Amino acid sequence: MEHEKKVYQKNNTGYYLLLTFIAFNTVYTIFRLRDMTVDYNIGLFIIVTIVLSLISFLATIKIRSYSLLWSYLSGCIGIFQIVRFFLMDNKFQGNLNIFLSVMLVISAVCAVAGGIISMIKTKQRTSFIQHNHINKEYMHS
């Protein structure tokens, strides 16, 4: 019975994990921008953040509908956040930088977990559909 539910239910676990990623990334961005000096790096930071936010939102919507490609992309987004963490200056100096480091790590964990969970659920759902010869025209996902 549990597998039959997966055919019609949305992937809410991956969806909410990626929404959490977006929320933590937004908080990180707001506080990071307050602390940055105005130069070309701030422009690059803003462009990267906008692109990351748009891709994350698209991934959130697609993952809810069991898209395997976007599940992989979500994991890549989390890995990108980890790279951003290691590139961050003074990550352990001062309360604000420690707070920003925690925000970045939490957002990365949410993105990677959302991607992995979505990959597993998508593969299980696809296997169930193929094994039981369910016609995709009758599904509402």
Report yes or no: 65 and 118 within 8 Å, Cβ to Cβ.
no
Is the C-alpha dihedral spanning 102, 20, 113, 59 positive or negative? negative
Average pLDDT, the chain: 87
pLDDT of 141 reads 47
Each domain of the chain, given as residue ranges in start order, spans: 2-132
pLDDT digits (tens, 9 = 90+) for 109-140: 999 999 999 999 999 888 888 888 776 654 54
| Cα 57 from Cα 39, distance rounded (Å) | 28
Rounded-to-integer distance, Cα 33 and Cα 136, Å:
46
∠ CA 33-38-111, rounded to 5°: 30
DSSP code for 90: T
